[in-house]
Amino acid sequence: MRVFLGGTCNGSTWRQRLIELLKIDYFNPVVDDWNEEAYQRELFERKHCDFVLYTITPKMTGVYSIAEAVDDSNKRPERTIFCILREDDGMVFTDGQLRSLMRVGQMINENGGKVFYNLNLVAHYLNESVQEAKTMALKVSFDITILVKAFFEAIDTLNEKGIQRAREAFYDSKDDVFNDLEWLEDHLEGAADEALRIDI
């Protein structure tokens, strides 16, 4: 599984701190050289990652990440995670900024996304999701094994019924069969005697 690490840049270290806690793969969109290739890679990862995380800290200067978070909570709510960090490297949100972000978080939550207020909870949720996915995969594999076993048992049952029907049909006509076998035996014996009389 893989998580897209979207949100505040501007020298914030929240990504490095979260990565140390993660047990799953991740995509960090922050690059030294932001160009068209990096932009297209970000779009691809945002679309295909199992989770999209948007962490907003007081170092935020733009608001596009918030728009992305709301957009994803509408389109892919089960994959969307929104995290608000009230403090970042000594910087804090104003009361007005924090109230606005809390309203955004409420909107994302109502859309079906997850909202957290510290990185430890984000990491716990992501790591637990991986474990749940593994458990589900094992359960599916187990269920498939049971289904395959039941399928072959059903085939064996049908084969047994077919064999039983064949036995019944044989016994119903055994007299004719035995008569045919006796004729065939006599015929082969006669042919064998004739072959022995041939002068090679």
CATH number for position 45: 3.40.50
Are 109 and 142 within one domain? no
- Provide the domain limits for residue 149: 138-197
Are 119 and 157 within one domain? no
Please give the Cα distance from 88 to 12 (Å, whole number). Answer: 7
Residue 23 predicted with pLDDT over 90: yes
Are 146 and 110 within one domain? no
Please give the average per-residue pLDDT across 170-193, as a whole number.
54
Angle at 74 between CA 105 and CA 16, to 5 degrees: 55
Chain segment 103-151, per-residue pLDDT in tens: 999 999 999 999 999 999 999 999 998 776 556 444 444 445 555 555 5
Are 51 and 143 within one domain? no
Q: Tokens standing for 108?
A: 């994302």
Under the banding of pLDDT at 50, 70 and 90, the label for residue 32 is confident
Are 14 and 69 within one domain? yes
Out of 120, 136, 152, a domain closes at 136
Phi (first) and psi of residue 81, to 5 degrees = -125, 130
Helix count (H) and strand count (E) of the chain? Answer: 6, 7
Residue 3 predicted with pLDDT over 90: yes
